[in-house]
Amino acid sequence: MHELSITENILEIALRHAQKANALRIAHLYLVIGQLASVVDESVQFYWDIIAQGSPAEGATLHFRRIPTTLRCAQCHQQYQPSGGDFACPLCHSPQFSVVSGQEFFVEAIDIEQ
C-alpha cells in the first residue's frame, strides 16, 4: 500500500519539473529502484495510471531500472552480491555487512513534450 504514497510523490516531482520546463505533457519517466527497496513496479504502475489521470502526466510511460544489491563484508571487506536470500559473505561467511547498493530509489529522467 505504500506504493500509493510513493507514486504520489513521483507524480508531484514530475509535475513540478514539467511546470518549470513549460511542458505540455510528460511522455516518459525513468525510475531507478534498488532491489532492496520494497517497491513493486506493477503497483507503482497501477497507481500511476489512476492518479495521473487528467494531469500532464496522463499516459506517460514509466520505465523501471533495477539496481542489484551489493554488500561489503564488515570482516574481510569483500564486496559481493548475495544470492538466494543468503546475505553472509561468500569468502569468510561473516553475517556482518554494509549495503553498498540496492537501496536506491529516485527519478532519473523525465521526457517532456513542449
What is the rounded average pLDDT of the residues 78-98?
95
- Alpha-carbon distance of 34 to 102, in angstroms, equals 4
User: Would you say residue 114 has pLDDT above 90?
Assistant: no
Pairing of strands 25-34, 105-113: antiparallel
- Alpha-carbon distance of 58 to 73, in angstroms, equals 44
93-113 residue pLDDT tens: 999 999 999 999 999 999 999
- Alpha-carbon distance of 54 to 63, in angstroms, equals 20
Task: Give a three-class secondary structure readout of 94-114.
Answer: CCCEEEEECCCEEEEEEEEEC
pLDDT at residue 80, as a whole number: 97
- Alpha-carbon distance of 111 to 6, in angstroms, equals 20
Count of alpha carbons within 13 angstroms of residue 98, beta-carbon side? 6
Could you tell me which CATH number the domain at 2-113 has? 3.30.2320.80
What single-letter amino acid sits at 112?
Answer: I
